[in-house]
Amino acid sequence: IDVAKCIALGANLVGLAGDFLRAADQNGVAGVVELAETLTDELRIAMFCSGAADLQVLSQTPLHTAF
């Protein structure tokens, strides 16, 4: 979800090196693959929920701060 929020706020990239290094340290290659799959799934779900077909559309999606 954090990746989607960063992109919606206008970011062109998101730093996740620490997360990937921790995953590699704790679970090796399998941990890195699992993290990458989880991040991809979360981004796809966030894009679906916001109606964004691609990252360009997501970057133009307005964020609501209160409901």
Range 34-50 average pLDDT: 97
19 is a domain residue: yes
Tokens of 30: 């399998």
Residue 22 dihedral angles phi and psi, to the nearest 5°: -65, -45
Region 23-46 average pLDDT:
98
Q: Mean of the pLDDT values across residues 2-31?
A: 96
Residue 64 DSSP code: -
Task: Quote the number of domains for the chain.
Answer: 1
User: Residue 46: inside a domain, yes or no?
Assistant: yes
How far apart (Å, rounded) are the C-alpha atoms in residues 37 and 32?
9
**Is residue 65 situated within a structural domain?**
no
| Cα gap 26→35, rounded to integer Å | 12
**What is the mean predicted confidence (pLDDT) over 5-13?**
93
Give the per-residue pLDDT at 67: 65
pLDDT at residue 11 in the model = 95
pTM score of the predicted model? 0.85
